[in-house]
């Protein structure tokens, strides 16, 4: 039985040809055809009828003008189908449109594979397929996100007006990226042709748009455009991996790569600043400028990631479909669709199917939870595991088998280390003493909620989030802490759930949308409002909270609330909070800590620091979250390889991950403490090192590792002014500088060969928790990210212990590469057990005392590192040099105070007294003030080895002769020389090196002339007696020079020359490597 007209059709239907079309349709299916000559577009629908409101926009978007419409309802054996005949005509702009392309475009739009907008006109007017038109749409959406100032209608008009050039761009895309048709030669020819065509364009806007498209096509490294699904149709999304730094329209900071995903239901971008990079994926509601939203965040992410293995990355998507979780899944799947896989058993990279790779191997893609995606890590990991991606559930950190940040409280706990350090510098113990606090956030949030439970002495005076304003003018610390804990445990809590009976007099909770909020006398006093204030708008009340005269402003929320006075709200880029934002110089909180991102702008932090506020940066304060995630990912990568080998099953792996929670947390918090110690010591020496920091900033800028203006760092004129005024970099500036030093150092180590050598196996092990070090050392040694982990560990260790400018100053002084500095530093670190020295120094009394003692450890490290670079064969063999010196140095170090006599002993005594006066333990101070003299033990050990005497004897001779000749007076004069630029610094270093070289030679000279049974004192006396005339002449000149004040490089150069001239010449000089032949005598009584 065939299809027959329904009784309700009311017309005679031409059934011929309809039947076959309808028979091919499944229930709910659709088909279409277009007779261009007759001007009839026919739509076949099985099942429910189509509405004109669905169909007409699709036809109009294709450039078809609908003249009339005739519907026909057909039935067969109870089944219903509809045939719609539309009489249409093509627009004059597209008289020769291909009917087949139009039908395919209509089908794609009907099936939801493509959006219904003006880009579909390119099918009729430029002869593109619907998929090619979708590609042009995707590129246009990306250009909109990066700020190209043209709307879609204008872009379509340009592409249509220059249809030939548009066709060239599409063909170039094909020849670059189609697995079946890619051809470098043909692509090069097409590029030349396209450039010539664009050059002939007269309109400036047309030229800019077409050049932007050409740049995008050339910058496309990968795409899934040519992949067909099992159904034979392409996916609804188009994914483009772009080399962003080659696209002129992309604003700074430009990522190394970004993956742009565009489809009817979801759109987004994932920005990566290195091949090994990670950051959160956020669900944005800013469809028009979501890339701008994350661009500000990714700058902080880059700085934050300075302490972890990957560089910075950030992803963002907007859900245009109703189901956000499904859109997230689609977005994640699209990212993985253009990403390489890795065979963990062979280490072989597996490219994605039907993807041309113009950028080489790139298998590392990891993501993390962010705003809106906190509960979606398991979804992302499910996608990764379904695709067989090598990272498995290490792809998205924080899932059900990972370390949930809110449960662990890691971000808040890391930020609390900043709170502790800041208040300790102010003489307050934040865990013990009461502190008044205002905050941004609510107790249901991770960072705010966890943070406000870290001390029972917190007096939370006021807080606000996007819903409420909370004021408690005179809180009881214990009762309020208990109530906050209750709210934290209460699902989906808000400030409105706070028990009113526990709020002090004059307080309360009000909606943020309130037109007017009553202000009590108590609230006005707590917030520092003018006397007599009785009411306020909610916006002004939030401003008052931000300006409140409290101990701590704790940011645990979302949004930017403090800016510099020199910035406009437009500069900030957070329009939703324009009405409540204040200038930094208005903030009266003594300390500001940012557990959340971008609560204060970078320039706002600097203004706040100049106004006397204590602040780091958001990246510095809240880095524990990314650090924890990074440890989780790297541990999972390790354990997944163990599981793959059969040595561990998945349930045992999951149990082991849970068991290590506390160990991972401690590893993370240890780095937060180290970073705060680094920054605290840097603040202590900021004035002294302002010239060095100026040179360091210029150096980073010259290497392309820092954009001074973008990072809000001062220019050279400003730095010169600060040097003249006796000020240095502020804490947030130092934090930014330290982060970029770490980023550059990691990059330099990764590009060197030092990480390929088996020098740092112990440090690689130490990155992991103890359980893993014990059970899987072989697997750790084979970790796929072994080099990246080592680069991170070494960078953190060197910068945290040596200081921000340590490596730069060593390189500047010696010309050594970063890799060579790291080798020498690592040897010095191990020889002198610097880890133990730093632990003692940092735990000493007040932060001021700790800063002073830490400075002494750093002086020892710097001198020892330079000595190893100057005196030992290069590159420094870390293990061999450590073995050569460590035991003797360890044995001699405790005896050093007794070896120092004369001026040396007097100087140590004076500095010890000064440290003791600051509050240091006398014995600890005395040990710290002798540290600088320890590096000379390297000379002592060489003398003992080469002269075949006991190290103790060599030490007594070295320090005895040093005191006899008053060498320390000369060294002090050198230390007093200015170091305003690189060359003054270099002159100081060379003079000091020449002095130590002369002392070594003089020691050898004394030994060469001493009698066999003489004591050290007798040997020195005999040597002086034998060389009396020459030594007397030198002493006379040295005495005259000592009376010149102030000393200069010229006078001290003469003095050093005179010191060296005391050598008799009867001994054989030390070689550059410190080698000396055996002496006539081998022991001294």
- Shared-domain flag, residues 119 and 158: yes
Question: What digits encode the pLDDT tens for the residues 183-207?
Answer: 999 999 999 999 999 999 999 999 9
Catalytic residues: 314
284: containing domain: 252-400
Q: Return d(Cα 305, Cα 795) in angstroms, integer.
A: 12
Q: Return d(Cα 338, Cα 526) in angstroms, integer.
A: 56
Is residue 236 domain-resident?
no
- Shared-domain flag, residues 342 and 460: no
Q: Return d(Cα 304, Cα 311) in angstroms, integer.
A: 9
∠ Cα 9 11 15 (to 5°): 90
Q: Return d(Cα 279, Cα 294) in angstroms, integer.
A: 11
> Which residue, chain included where needed, has tokens 């996100």?
145
Report the 10 Å Cβ neighbour count for 546: 28
Look at residue 672 and give its three-state secondary structure. Answer: helix
The number of domains in the chain is: 6
Is residue 232 domain-resident?
no
Is residue 125 domain-resident?
yes
Residue 517 DSSP symbol: E
Is residue 984 domain-resident?
yes
Is residue 247 domain-resident?
no
Is residue 235 domain-resident?
no
> Which residue, chain included where needed, has tokens 């992309």?
250
**Cβ-count burial 63-75 (b if 16+ within 10 Å, e if not):** bbeeeebebbbbb
What Rg, from alpha-carbon coordinates, does the chain have?
Answer: 36
Q: By the 8 A CB rule, do 210 and 162 touch?
A: yes
Question: CATH number for the domain including 575?
Answer: 3.40.50.720
Q: Return d(Cα 613, Cα 544) in angstroms, integer.
A: 17
CA 340 from centre of chain: 23
Q: Return d(Cα 825, Cα 823) in angstroms, integer.
A: 5
Is residue 245 domain-resident?
no
- Shared-domain flag, residues 670 and 811: yes
Question: CATH number for the domain including 30?
Answer: 3.30.70
Residue 311's alpha-carbon distances to 222, 292, 746, in angstroms, are 21, 19, 10
Q: In what order do the strands lie in the sheet with 458-464?
A: 508-511, 468-471, 458-464, 435-440, 552-555, 591-594, 614-615
Q: Return d(Cα 115, Cα 105) in angstroms, integer.
A: 10
Report the 10 Å Cβ neighbour count for 1041: 20
Q: Return d(Cα 62, Cα 109) in angstroms, integer.
A: 10
Q: Which two tokens stand for residue 299?
A: 């700058």
Q: Return d(Cα 509, Cα 512) in angstroms, integer.
A: 9
∠ Cα 336 339 345 (to 5°): 105
Look at residue 366 and give its three-state secondary structure. Answer: coil
Domain end (from 345, 367, 400): 400
Domain end (from 373, 400, 427): 400
End-to-end CA, the chain: 124
Q: Return d(Cα 998, Cα 71) in angstroms, integer.
A: 106
DSSP of 367-434, one letter per residue?
A: BEE-TT-TT-HHHHHHHHHHTT-TTGGGSBTTSTTS--HHHHTHHHHHHHHHHHHHHHHTT--TTTS-
Q: Return d(Cα 148, Cα 153) in angstroms, integer.
A: 13
Look at residue 758 and give its three-state secondary structure. Answer: coil
Of 616, 638, 952, 649, give the one whose Cα is nearest residue 765: 638
Q: Return d(Cα 471, Cα 483) in angstroms, integer.
A: 14
Report the 10 Å Cβ neighbour count for 712: 17
Q: Which two tokens stand for residue 727?
A: 């000020």
Report the 10 Å Cβ neighbour count for 365: 24
Q: Which two tokens stand for residue 552?
A: 């701590």
- Shared-domain flag, residues 66 and 184: no
- Shared-domain flag, residues 570 and 448: yes
- Shared-domain flag, residues 820 and 717: yes
- Shared-domain flag, residues 442 and 495: yes
Domain end (from 559, 590, 623): 623
> Which residue, chain included where needed, has tokens 């054989």?
1068
Q: By the 8 A CB rule, do 500 and 524 touch?
A: no
Q: Which two tokens stand for residue 456?
A: 């029972």
Q: By the 8 A CB rule, do 542 and 580 touch?
A: yes
Look at residue 1002 and give its three-state secondary structure. Answer: helix
Is residue 321 domain-resident?
yes
pLDDT at position 2 is 63
In sequence order, the 6+-apart residues with CB closer than 8 A to the CB of 662 are none
In this prediction, the residues of the chain whose per-residue pLDDT falls under 50 are 9-13, 15-16, 1066-1085
> Which long-range contacts does 340-347 make (Cβ < 8 Å, 24+ apart)?
341/387, 341/388, 341/389, 341/390, 342/390, 342/784, 343/390, 344/390, 344/640, 344/641, 344/644, 344/784, 345/644, 347/784
Which conformational region is residue 459 in: left (phi greater than 0), alpha (psi within -120 to 50 degrees), or beta? Answer: beta
Q: By the 8 A CB rule, do 288 and 318 touch?
A: no
Where would I find the beta strands (DSSP E) of 823-913? none
Look at residue 597 and give its three-state secondary structure. Answer: coil
Q: Which two tokens stand for residue 507?
A: 């307080």
- Shared-domain flag, residues 770 and 862: yes
- Tabulate helix, strand, coil % of the chain (nearest 5): 55, 10, 35
- Shared-domain flag, residues 137 and 284: no
Q: Return d(Cα 670, Cα 417) in angstroms, integer.
A: 9
Of 277, 362, 365, 267, give the one whose Cα is nearest residue 316: 267
∠ Cα 1004 1009 1012 (to 5°): 105
- Shared-domain flag, residues 828 and 685: yes
**Cβ-count burial 437-473 (b if 16+ within 10 Å, e if not):** bbbbbbbbbbbbbbbbbbbeebbbbbbbbeebbbbbb
Average confidence score pLDDT of the chain: 90
Q: Return d(Cα 15, Cα 9) in angstroms, integer.
A: 13
DSSP of 938-979, one letter per residue?
A: HHHHHHHHHHT--HHHHHHHHHHHHHHTTHHHHHHHHHTS--
pLDDT at position 624 is 95
- Shared-domain flag, residues 154 and 83: no
Of 156, 141, 170, give the one whose Cα is nearest residue 93: 156
Q: Return d(Cα 263, Cα 322) in angstroms, integer.
A: 14
Beta bridge partners of 74: 5, 81
CA 793 from centre of chain: 15
In sequence order, the 6+-apart residues with CB closer than 8 A to the CB of 623 are 304, 307, 308, 414, 671, 672, 675
Q: Return d(Cα 233, Cα 359) in angstroms, integer.
A: 27
- Shared-domain flag, residues 890 and 749: yes
Q: Return d(Cα 237, Cα 318) in angstroms, integer.
A: 13
Q: 252 burial class (0-12, 13-18, 19+ CB within 10 angstroms)?
A: exposed
Q: Return d(Cα 388, Cα 339) in angstroms, integer.
A: 12
Q: Return d(Cα 630, Cα 624) in angstroms, integer.
A: 10
């Amino acid at each position: 039985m065939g299809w027959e007209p329904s009784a309700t059709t009311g017309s005679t239907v031409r059934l011929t040809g309809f039947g076959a079309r309808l028979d091919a349709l499944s229930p709910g299916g659709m088909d279409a055809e277009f007779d261009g000559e007759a001007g009839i577009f026919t739509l076949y629908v099985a099942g429910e009828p189509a509405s004109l409101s669905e169909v007409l926009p699709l036809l109009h978007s294709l450039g078809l003008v609908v003249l009339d419409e005739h519907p026909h309802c057909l039935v067969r054996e109870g089944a219903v189908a509809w045939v719609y005949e539309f009489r249409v005509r093509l627009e004059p702009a597209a008289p020769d449109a291909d009917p087949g392309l139009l039908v395919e475009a209509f089908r794609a739009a009907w099936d939801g594979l493509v959006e219904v907008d003006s880009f579909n006109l390119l099918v009729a007017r430029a002869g593109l397929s619907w998929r090619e038109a979708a590609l042009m749409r995707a590129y246009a959406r990306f250009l909109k996100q990066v700020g190209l100032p043209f709307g879609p209608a204008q872009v379509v008009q340009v592409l249509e007006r220059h249809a030939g050039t548009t066709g060239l761009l599409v063909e170039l895309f094909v020849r670059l990226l189609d697995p079946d048709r890619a051809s470098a030669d043909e692509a090069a020819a097409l590029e030349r042709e396209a450039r010539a065509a664009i050059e002939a364009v007269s309109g400036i806007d047309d030229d800019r748009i077409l050049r932007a498209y050409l740049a995008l096509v050339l910058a496309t490294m990968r795409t899934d455009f040519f992949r067909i699904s099992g159904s034979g149709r392409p996916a609804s999304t188009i994914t483009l991996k772009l080399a962003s730094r080659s696209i002129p329209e992309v604003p700074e900071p430009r990522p190394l790569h970004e993956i742009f995903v565009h489809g009817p239901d979801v759109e987004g971008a994932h920005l990566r600043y290195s091949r090994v990079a990670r950051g959160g994926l956020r669900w944005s509601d800013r469809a028009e400028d979501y890339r701008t939203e994350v661009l500000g965040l990714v700058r902080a992410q880059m700085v934050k990631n300075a302490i972890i293995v990957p560089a910075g990355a950030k992803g963002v998507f907007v859900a245009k479909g109703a189901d956000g979780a499904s859109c997230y899944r689609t977005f994640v799947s699209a990212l993985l669709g253009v990403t390489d896989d890795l065979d963990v058993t062979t280490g072989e990279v597996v490219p994605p199917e039907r993807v041309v790779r113009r950028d080489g191997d790139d298998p590392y893609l990891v993501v993390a939870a962010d705003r809106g995606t906190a509960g979606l890590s398991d979804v992302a990991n499910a996608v990764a595991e379904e695709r067989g991606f090598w990272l498995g559930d290490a792809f998205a950190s924080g899932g059900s088998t990972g370390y949930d940040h809110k449960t662990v409280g890691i971000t808040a706990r890391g930020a609390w280390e900043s709170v502790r350090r800041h208040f300790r510098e102010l003489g307050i113990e934040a865990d013990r003493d009461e502190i008044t606090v205002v905050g941004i956030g609510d107790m249901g949030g991770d960072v705010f909620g966890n943070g406000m439970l870290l001390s029972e002495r917190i007096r939370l005076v006021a807080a606000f989030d996007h819903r409420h304003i909370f004021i408690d003018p005179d809180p009881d610390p214990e009762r309020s802490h208990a109530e906050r804990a209750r709210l934290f445990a209460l699902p989906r809590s808000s400030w409105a759930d706070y028990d009113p009976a526990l709020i002090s007099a004059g307080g309360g909770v009000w909606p943020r949308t309130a037109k007017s909020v009553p202000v009590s006398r108590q609230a006005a006093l707590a917030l520092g409002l003018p006397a007599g204030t009785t009411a306020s708008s909610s916006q002004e009340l939030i401003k008052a909270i931000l300006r409140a005269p409290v101990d701590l402003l704790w940011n645990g929320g979302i949004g930017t609330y403090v800016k510099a006075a020199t910035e406009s709200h437009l500069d900030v880029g957070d329009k939703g909070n324009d009405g409540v934002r204040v200038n930094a110089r208005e903030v009266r909180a003594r300390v500001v800590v940012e557990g959340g991102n971008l609560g204060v702008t970078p320039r706002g932090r600097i203004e706040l620091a100049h106004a006397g506020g204590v602040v780091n940066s958001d990246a510095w304060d809240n880095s524990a979250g990314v650090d924890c995630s990074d440890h989780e990912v790297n541990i999972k990568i390790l354990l997944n390889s163990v599981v793959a080998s059969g040595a561990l099953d998945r349930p045992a792996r999951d149990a082991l991950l849970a068991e290590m929670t506390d160990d991972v947390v401690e590893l993370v918090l240890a780095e937060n403490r180290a970073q705060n110690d680094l920054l605290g010591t840097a603040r202590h020496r900021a004035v002294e090192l302002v010239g060095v920091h100026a040179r360091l900033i210029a150096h980073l800028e010259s290497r392309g590792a820092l954009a001074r203006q973008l990072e809000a760092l001062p220019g050279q004129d400003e730095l010169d002014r600060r040097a003249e005024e006796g000020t240095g970099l502020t804490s947030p500036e130092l934090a930014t500088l330290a982060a970029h030093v770490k980023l550059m150092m990691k990059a330099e180590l990764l590009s060197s060969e030092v990480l390929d050598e088996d020098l740092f196996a112990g440090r690689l092990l130490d990155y992991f928790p103890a359980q893993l070090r014990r059970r899987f050392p072989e697997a750790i040694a084979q970790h796929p990210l072994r080099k990246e982990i080592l680069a991170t560990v070494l960078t953190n260790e060197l910068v945290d212990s040596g200081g921000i400018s340590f490596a730069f100053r060593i390189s500047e002084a010696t010309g050594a590469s970063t890799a060579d500095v790291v080798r020498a530093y690592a040897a010095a670190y191990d020889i002198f057990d610097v880890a133990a020295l730093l632990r003692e120094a940092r735990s000493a009394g007040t932060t001021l005392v700790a800063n002073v003692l830490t400075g002494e450890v750093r002086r020892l490290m710097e001198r020892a590192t330079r000595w190893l670079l100057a005196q030992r064969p290069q590159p420094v063999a870390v293990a061999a040099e450590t073995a050569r010196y460590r035991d003797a140095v360890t044995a001699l170090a405790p005896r050093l105070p007794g070896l120092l006599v004369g001026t040396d002993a007097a100087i140590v005594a004076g500095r010890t007294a000064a440290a003791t006066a600051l509050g240091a333990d006398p014995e600890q101070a005395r040990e710290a003030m002798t540290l600088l003299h320890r590096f000379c033990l390297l000379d002592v050990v060489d003398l003992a080895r080469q002269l075949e005497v006991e190290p103790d004897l060599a030490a007594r001779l070295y320090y005895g002769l040093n005191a006899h000749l008053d060498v320390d007076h000369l060294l002090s004069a050198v230390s007093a020389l200015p170091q305003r630029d690189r060359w003054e610094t270099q002159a100081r270093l060379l003079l000091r090196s020449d002095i130590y070289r002369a002392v070594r030679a003089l020691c050898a000279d004394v030994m060469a002339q001493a009698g066999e049974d003489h004591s050290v004192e007798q040997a020195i006396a005999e040597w002086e007696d034998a060389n009396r005339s020459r030594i007397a002449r030198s002493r006379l000149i040295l005495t005259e020079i000592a009376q010149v004040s102030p000393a200069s490089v010229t006078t001290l150069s003469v003095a050093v020359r005179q010191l060296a001239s005391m050598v008799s010449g009867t001994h054989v000089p030390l070689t550059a490597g410190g080698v000396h032949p055996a002496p006539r005598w081998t022991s001294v009584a």
